[in-house]
Structure 1
Amino acid sequence: MDKFFDDEFEQHALTLQATREAVRGPFGQLVKACREALAGGGKILFCGNGGSAADAQHLATELVVRYTRNRKALPSIALTTDTSLLTAAANDFSFDEVFARQVEALCRPGDVVIGISTSGNSPNVLRALEAAKEMGGIAAGLSGRDGGKMVGLAEPLIVVPSTVTARIQEMHILLGHMLCDLLEAEAV
């Protein structure tokens, strides 16, 4: 048990350091895009599957309600939470379209759509990013491994340099919290 415990912390620490070195530039680009969207009256939309869906909901909630400070609500939506919409879109179109359909309805030019996929290859997240571009929005991404099919589609794209899903997700939520903190600081 002690070895497992120590090994998990060590793997987290190594991924943390590698991420710190790898994503500073793309993270700054993401912050800038989100600041510009909010300053222009736009919004931030998040999507992902599984744990990434939970992260999408978590981060959208931090922006709408609060992260650490009381301030005005920041317009943000998790495209992962409406079960009636998700099941209708999956049934009537396909699961690949569940987020793209919402982006088509909700995204306006200048809005930021942040797709979260640890592999970078989730078809429904990729379709959401394509739809964001079609609507004049910013297609941004949080990924891992080599960025997958998000490379060349999402800009900015933050790629956590790991092949371990748990470590990638840990970095995604850290970076998401950092994003929320910076955006919230401007809203107080």
Structure 2
Amino acid sequence: MNHSEIINKIIEFADNAHGDQTRKYTADKYIVHPIRVMETCKEYTEELPVLATAILHDVLEDTATSEDHILHFLKDIMNENDRNLTIKLVNELTDVYVKKDFPKLNRDTRKRMELERLRKISARAQTIKYADIIDNSKEIPQHDPSFAKRYLKECNDILLALDKGLPKLRKEAINQVVTILKNL
């Protein structure tokens, strides 16, 4: 199976996992976001686990799909090293300090704790995070300008703290977030 066939199977898996979910501000199926994140990463790397993770990056956080379910699925389409790296990256990109698990903490506290956690993630995971921020920072200001200012400041903090990923993509993300913030 070649890379594009594997990627297509992963897209199908992620799309099924996200089910009827749509993007928060549009009627688009949720899968459009992970595909755009993957396409952004693809401009900088062809590394299969990075592209696979870009597609799967929200599955653990936003669906009922378990890590074991993802691993079982990947077993049939990826070699062990790629599969293990993919699941490691997905875990690194899955928010830990979420409201549901930390209801007594306010958003600022949760985001601060999440930022400290993100500082320790791998360079590959940071690269995917840059692409995720690029995609989200285009959509949110159009649909929710009042929240966008806060969100983009959080993104800027993340981008300033996460400096191990691909430098060109990080620079693109920083430039985009700063530019949008100036125009709000």
Greater RCO (Cα-Cα under 8 Å, separation 6 or more)? 1
By percentage of residues, which structure has more strand? 1
